[in-house]
């Protein structure tokens, strides 16, 4: 597995965590920002999480096929 793939996975995890924390912060504060962005942020988090998990699955599959 290349360094580039590892960097992409780390970036995907950071993006997912960032969206999650922004969404949680938005919900705790409430107000107009949450009304406009709350559900949208959680949908973006689900999409980012799917991409991150897909990248991990591909990495694990590649490692198993290469023998470790």
- In this predicted model, what pLDDT tens digit does every residue of 15-55 receive, in sequence order? 999 999 999 999 998 899 888 888 999 999 999 999 999 98
Residue 2 and residue 59 in contact, taking contact as beta carbons nearer than 8 Å: no
Distance CA 68, CA 59 (A): 11
Count of the separate structural domains present in the chain = 1
Task: Specify the residue for token string 């973006």.
Answer: 44
**The model's pTM:** 0.77
**What is the span of the domain harbouring residue 52?**
3-65
Residues 6+ positions from 37 with CB-CB distance below 8 Å = 26
């Amino acid at each position: 597995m290349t360094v580039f793939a590892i960097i992409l996975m780390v970036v995907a995890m950071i993006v997912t965590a960032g969206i999650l924390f922004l969404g949680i912060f938005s919900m705790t504060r409430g107000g107009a920002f949450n009304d406009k962005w709350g559900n949208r942020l959680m949908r973006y988090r689900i999409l980012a999480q799917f991409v991150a998990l897909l990248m991990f699955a591909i990495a694990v599959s590649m490692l198993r096929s290469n023998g470790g």
